[in-house]
Chain A
């Protein structure tokens, strides 16, 4: 059975279609890249998958997350699903973290929630240990020091690692990464991509990786869906789509990426 199954998803703002007739499915351990430029509806799709669409937007079609219909289900019923079935890492880690709370405390919150839900609440000491372990898991150096820091005292890359640790705190089956490296430096981006790759593999999670940048997803996912103005124009295994892009839009995306790629190889 699919972990996430989206069928004929449409999202409207007023009468304006933002996503139209989108379908794809993702099983345990699979990795899918959702590629699109601004206005393609890729981020809205991620929000719709977890029932987090902002007010004013209407979704129709079917979104099954771990067998539960998301569209039309009251928020309260979805709360249990979020975090455990799917968790999201956003583009800007600075706005995803509370600026007035030490990161250790922020990270401890979902860990404690998960433990309570599992019916074995953690003692303060055990919670502290679990929090430090979670920091070490995302390869942050000196976890005790990081735990005492406020978000603004950390670098962009460190903040994104915290955001990933928080997303993983409830041990989700699906990790949704919405442009998680776009705000980061190139060298930091490479590190975060490696980290996501390792964590997804180790925890056997499914990954929905959203990006505007083909090269970023090239070695992170196995399948891609190319979105343009809310519609999927092409889908398939990465190797196949990259080797033989069929749609003109995919070709233009590919040509753009290739332009900088070949320049780097010295063939200006």
Chain B
């Protein structure tokens, strides 16, 4: 059974063009899926729907067999524990006035999870490659890449089964990007990952499956290697052709 089942979800019909138009998507336990789309594709809206921050105009979303209903408090508490998110901007995703400890411990406190919170935070810090002494410091004392690791630590601390990443490496330098992608790849061994990005190269390096979203519609989906080797939809082809490569054209050499 799928962990997440999105069935013909539409959103924003009041606009001249719907933001999402009958989108269907399944996330199996342990799956890594790259959701590729550019601005206006509706990828951020889909993510908000998946997080229960908004509800679809039509269609259904099921999590672990139960309908995702933001008004169902008991279900949402379970859901919040099991589905966590990492955002794009490492500068806006951490409260500047909180210590790293209280930032990472927030899900534990808010979801009233039992256990030794200090130990759990230390463990999460270690899992993302930071030392335990980071806990007493503040966000501004860390670089962009380190902040993104802290945001990942906050997401994994309640032990989620699904990690949603919204352009989580797009704001990072190239060398930092590689390391954070490696971290996410390692974490995805123990949880499902939905990696939302416009960067098809990163998706190729990280995700087993790929879903291409264009203007609110899924235009192509499948095994990443298969889709990249043989893109069928013209938009996928254009997307792939647009990615800058290291290979030099004959003309310029």
A residues with a Cβ closer than 8 A to B are 37-38, 155-156, 185-190, 193, 212-216, 218-219, 222, 238-239, 242, 252-261, 263-266, 268
Contacts and interface: CB of A to CB of B under 8 A. Distances in A.
A38 B176 CA distance: 10
B159 to A, nearest CB: 27
B249 A219 contact: yes
A213 B171 CA distance: 12
Given A219-B252, A238-B248, A242-B246, A263 B174 contact: no
B173 A38 contact: yes
A186 B239 contact: yes
A244 to B, nearest CB: 13
30 contacts: A37-B173, A155-B39, A186-B38, A186-B198, A186-B200, A186-B239, A186-B242, A187-B242, A188-B38, A189-B244, A190-B243, A193-B244, A212-B174, A213-B174, A215-B243, A216-B244, A218-B245, A218-B247, A219-B249, A238-B248, A238-B253, A252-B175, A253-B174, A260-B202, A261-B201, A263-B205, A264-B204, A266-B225, A268-B204, A268-B225
B245 to A, nearest CB: 5
B252 A222 contact: yes
Contacts of B38: 185-188
Contact of A258 (B173, B238, B244, B246): B246
Contacts of A264: 200-201, 204, 228, 240, 243, 245
Interface string B180-219: 0100000000000000001111101100000000000000
Q: Which of B175, B202, B244, B246 has the largest number of chain A CB atoms within 10 A?
A: B244
Interface residues of B, number: 35
A257 B202 CA distance: 10
Q: Which of A238, A239, A256 has the largest number of chain B CB atoms within 10 A?
A: A256
B229 interface: yes
Contact of A268 (B176, B205, B241, B249): B205
B177 A256 contact: yes
A254 B198 CA distance: 21
Contact of B245 (A185, A215, A253, A266): A215
Contact of A239 (B198, B205, B253): B253
Given A185-B38, A219-B249, A268-B205, A190 B242 contact: yes
B144 interface: yes
Contacts of B243: 186, 190, 215, 264
A186 B177 contact: no
B113 interface: no
B51 to A, nearest CB: 23
B225 A218 contact: no
A241 to B, nearest CB: 11
Contacts of A252: 175
Contacts of A187: 38, 238-239, 242
B164 to A, nearest CB: 21
Contacts of B199: 186, 260
Contacts of B174: 37, 212-214, 253, 256-257
Contacts of B240: 264
B54 interface: no
B252 A260 contact: no
A38 B148 CA distance: 15
Nearest to A35: B174
A51 B253 CA distance: 33
A219 B173 contact: no
Contacts of B239: 186-187
Contact of B201 (A37, A238, A263): A263
A265 B229 CA distance: 7
Given A239-B248, A264-B240, 14 more contacts: A185-B39, A187-B239, A190-B243, A212-B174, A218-B248, A219-B248, A238-B248, A253-B175, A256-B178, A260-B204, A261-B245, A261-B246, A264-B201, A266-B228
Contacts of B144: 38
Question: Which 5 residue pairs are nearest across A and B when measured between Cβ atoms?
Answer: A260-B201, A263-B205, A190-B242, A263-B204, A215-B244
A222 B248 CA distance: 10
